[in-house]
Amino acid sequence: MLYSTKTPNEKRKAFRDAVKPGAAVQFPGAFTPLSAKLIQEKGFQGAYISGAVLANELGLPDVGLTTLSEVAQRGRQIADATDLPTLIDADTGFGEPMNVARTIQELENAGLSGCHIEDQFNPKRCGHLDGKNMVDLKTATMRIKGAVDGRRDSDFVIMARTDLRAVEGLDAAIDRMKALVDSGADMIFPEALKDLSEFERVCNEIDVPILANMTEFGKSELFTKQQLADAGVAMVIYPVTLLRIAMGAIERTLDTIATEGTQDSKVEEMLTRSRLYELVDYEAYNQFDSGIFNFQVPSSDIQTNNANL
Ligand SMILES: C[C@](O)(C(=O)O)[C@H](CC(=O)O)C(=O)O
Ligand SMILES: [Mg+2]
């Protein structure tokens, strides 16, 4: 009931335990706190919090317009709603290395389990679009060093994302990944790899756990968990999947209401009222209230209290 039953540190430890090379643990993107509850109920081991979704939900494109406060606040709401570890997208880290250090502290305070920081220039863009501008190696590594310097809970996961593959090719991207690991990155997110052999090569050559981004309509094919596990991948994210599917359903339902004059034909596709109540544990709150309402002071306590007066 109410919030997560696990402390941020317990979740961070669970995250680190889960992301082993070849485990390919699946982190669907929670686009709301409620969806994080469903992800947990379905037995996933973690939830991802996408920067693209955060921006899009505010009606904005994913070009680095969201602020650290907005991201940390939404991250907290989602992390609070689940016992699962959460990995949040910190884009380019929200500034210079000192700002990145502060970013880490804010995200730690918000109860997240880890975040990733990328090596694009701000304004950034989706990693699966063309025309990305990259910062140089020094700036990229300074961001990670700033993050590591700012971290107070050593279990908080600092992941470095590199977008270099699509710009300078795999060899250059792998060199950069090695430098990012030397700068203290706990995990690597190689963005927009082309095929499974590229994932395999990265997993073989990089000494820390690797993330695979299975975003739709992007540059990577949608590989299965098993394929990615065989390539050595440690974790897989489905960042925008739930938002896309929900918005697809919303659009179709709005069309139905407009054309049919009622939503009736869509009701069978909906999450029912009772299922929704189950997800938010409605029943437990009823008991909580009645527990307070029915509370009676045992007579022995009354005597003790009186004796103290
Ligand atoms: C993972 C990602 O950074 C995100 O914000 O979710 C995006 C996803 C997307 O736009 O499809 C990305 O840059 O890959
Ligand atoms: Mg992003």
What are the tens digits of pLDDT across the range 121-176?
988 888 888 889 999 999 999 999 999 999 999 999 999 999 999 999 999 999 99
Placement of tokens 């305070």 in the chain = 109
Minimal-distance CA residue to ligand 1 atom 6: 50
Confidence of residue 306 (pLDDT cuts 50, 70, 90): very low
Question: Could you give the residue numbers annotated as active site?
Answer: 48, 62, 89, 91, 116, 118, 126, 161, 191, 213
Please give the model's pTM, rounded to 2 decimal places. Answer: 0.93
- Residues framing ligand 1 (Cβ under 6 A): 50-52, 62, 89, 126-128, 213, 215, 218, 239-240
Q: Please answer whether residues 74 and 48 qualify as being in contact, where contact means their C-beta atoms are separated by less than 8 angstroms.
A: no
CATH architecture of 8-247: Alpha-Beta Barrel (3.20)
Return the number of other C-beta atoms located less than 10 Å from residue 158's C-beta.
25
Q: Name residue 210's beta-bridge partners.
A: 188
Residue with CA closest to ligand 1 atom 7: 126
| Interval between CA 128 and ligand 2 midpoint (Å) | 10
What's the CA-to-centroid distance between 149 and ligand 1, angstroms? 26
The candidate with the shortest Cα–Cα distance to 210, out of 72, 19, 42, is 19
Report how far ligand 2's centroid is from the alpha carbon of 115 (Å). 11
**If we measure between CA atoms, which residue out of 59, 91, 86 comes closest to residue 75?**
86
Q: 171, exposed or middle or buried, with CB in 10 Å at 0-12, 13-18, 19+?
A: exposed
Q: Express each pLDDT in 90-104 by its tens digit.
A: 999 999 999 999 999
Atom of ligand 1 nearest to the CA of 191: 14
Q: Which residues pair with 17 in a beta bridge?
A: none
